[in-house]
Amino acid sequence: MSLHRIALVAAVIAGLGGNTSSVAAQAREAADIDKARPLTSSELYELYNSRSWLWKAGAGHFAVKERQFTAYSNEGGSPSYGIGRWFITAPGKLCFRATWHAADGTAPAVTCFSHREVDGAIYQKREPDGEWSVFRNARPRRSDEWAKLRHGDYVAKRMSRIKASLADR
C-alpha cells in the first residue's frame, strides 16, 4: 500500500469524532480530561466487543473470537480493507493492528485511541497527538461517536466484495 493510501486511511480514522467548542474551552477541557479517570480494560471491552464502528466511508469490526479486527474503507473511491487484531493496552487505551490491502499494495498500520471518563461522559482521542473529543455524553445523544458503534458485523460482506474486486485486478 502506498504511503499516500496509508495517510488517507489514517486521515479517515483520525477524523472520527469532533468537538465544536472554542479553542480556549478545548484547552481547559483537555487539561481536565488528561487528569480524568481512564476507562478500565473491562469497560473498553464492553464498549467495543462484537461491535462495528461505522465511519463516513467504511467501518471496522471488533470480533470477540481471537480479538479479530476487520475493516473496509472506500475513501475517495479507492477501496481497501484491513485484517488484524484489536487489543487493550494501558488503562483506557484501545488499539488495532491491521494489514491494509488496496489496489496499489499492502501495508501494516497500528491505530490507538485513549478513553477517559469525566462526570459520566466518555472522551476519546487518537494517539499519539489527537485532540480529546466527546465520545459519549453523560446523557448519550444520537450524534455521539459512540452511537456509531453497532452490535454485529457490518464489515464482512462489504470487505468480501472489496477483496474480490482487488483480486480481479
Q: Give residue 17's pLDDT.
A: 45
Q: What is the mean pLDDT of the chain?
A: 86
Separation of alpha carbons 20 and 5, rounded Å: 28
Residues in the chain: 169
DSSP state of 67: G
Instruction: Determine which helix (DSSP H) or strand (DSSP E) holds 61, and give its type and residue range.
Output: strand 58-62
Instruction: Write the pLDDT tens digit of every residue in 66-110.
Output: 999 999 999 888 999 999 999 999 889 999 999 999 999 999 999
Give me the residue spans of the domains in the chain. Answer: 3-167
Q: Name the pTM for this structure.
A: 0.80
β partners of residue 76? none
The C-alpha cell of 131 is what? Answer: 485532540
What average pLDDT does this structure show over 22-27? 50
- Better-predicted residue by pLDDT, 15 or 82: 82
Handedness of CA 9, 10, 13, 14 (dihedral sign): negative
Q: Does the pLDDT value for residue 4 go beyond 70? A: no
- 24 pLDDT more than 50: no
**Which has more pLDDT, 169 or 45?**
45
